[in-house]
Amino acid sequence: MLKTFNKFKYPLIQPRLFKDDIQKGISVLKSGQITMSKLTRKFENDFAKYVGAKYAVMVNSGSSANLLATCASCNPERKNRFKRNDEVLIPGICWSTSLWPLIQFGLKPVFVDIDPNTLNMDINDLKRKISKNTKVIFCVHVLGNSSDILEIKKISKKKKIIIIEDTCESLGSVFKNKKLGTFGDFGTFSFYYSHQISSGEGGMIVCNDKNDYKILLSLRAHGWSRDRDDHKKFVKKYPNIDPRFIFINYGFNVRALEIQAAIAHQQLRKINILKKNRNFNRSQIIKLFLKNKKNNKKIIFIEDAKNVKCNWFGVPILISKKLKKYKSKIIKMIENKGIETRPIISGNFINQPAIKLFKLNKKKVKLKNCQDVEERGFFIGINSLKTDKKILRFVANSLNQVLDYF
């Protein structure tokens, strides 16, 4: 493993690259094949098999995956597509690049409150906010957990609503024996350094419709046709255009590098053991913390939602309502102990200044549970290697020592 340089004794992100990952990366550099090629296609195929989707398209980040999934959902090549000024339902606890592609392509966001027990969309609030203008439900699977995605799928099927699953934090999590990211029209994933598998940066989009797959291939690389299996059709139709550069659709350049695919592929081969390690480390921190019974009611550990088997991204925690006014002090004390923390994604996103800048909450919707999570919530990291029990005990004891003060 590579060494980490961090002021924290227990950092959020710990070394992620193994010797075989590094060796594979070096072999790609030595080969001279820098841009995506055979290894990328092999990784895409194996990733699709792992999650249980028909098709997978690798890109340079999870944010780019969200961008392409959104663009594909309104694409003229697609029969069931959204149009400008249609509504999208999105949870108030989300990431910025979950939201911005929706805005860039003209959707009007309707923010949905979350279930504080899962940190994911509240199904009842979602049902209340569906209107005749709702064309997209953008699910964000938070920190490895999920809403009742089958119920969301049932609702969307009845009303022909497109589902995009942002699974960037939840690769390997399962709902009723089916991997998250495969219930909707599109599922997006991230291979950033802190995620369940990593290539430093990188992302993936999965789908089950061949036409959607072809659209994604064009969108990923400039809008050209040459990566698609119907490329010859366009060559024949446009004989006066250089066949290497026939542009048939919108286009971006969000291609991954071959080295990213090679490293992520190596990590995918280890995902089951990495998942086992992450969940073990999390369970041990909680188990060791709960031995000190006097602090058990001062914080709440978020657990797997009903029917979900999580591949946890971190250890999400809610401070008790009684102590929430001390949250800033508690966080500072935990970090002074040497444990790095983060908010629950970005907290209640409607509080962000960009929402006001773009006038995205004109109705001044209040999201009670999202606000509560912002005021009470944070998470600490978990390692993909089985962590020494001394370190796990240090984390649990440090949390208890901080809470003893209150």
C-alpha dihedral (179, 164, 40, 79), degrees to nearest 10: 120
Q: Enumerate long-range contacts of 207-211, CB under 8 Å, 24 or more apart.
A: 207/53, 207/54, 207/55, 207/72, 208/53, 208/54, 208/55, 208/182, 209/54, 209/185, 210/54, 210/55, 211/77, 211/78
For the question of residue 195 being annotated catalytic, the response is yes
Torsional class of 246: left (φ above 0), alpha (ψ -120 to 50), beta (otherwise): beta
Gyration radius of the chain's alpha carbons: 22
> Tell me, what amino acid is at 299?
I
Q: Are strands 134-140 and 299-301 parallel, antiparallel or unpaired?
A: unpaired
> Tell me, what amino acid is at 318?
L
CB atoms within 10 A of CB 87: 21
> Tell me, what amino acid is at 77?
E
> Tell me, what amino acid is at 291?
K
User: From the candidates 195, 222, 231, 265, which is the catalytic residue?
Assistant: 195
For the annotated catalytic residues, the residue numbers are: 195
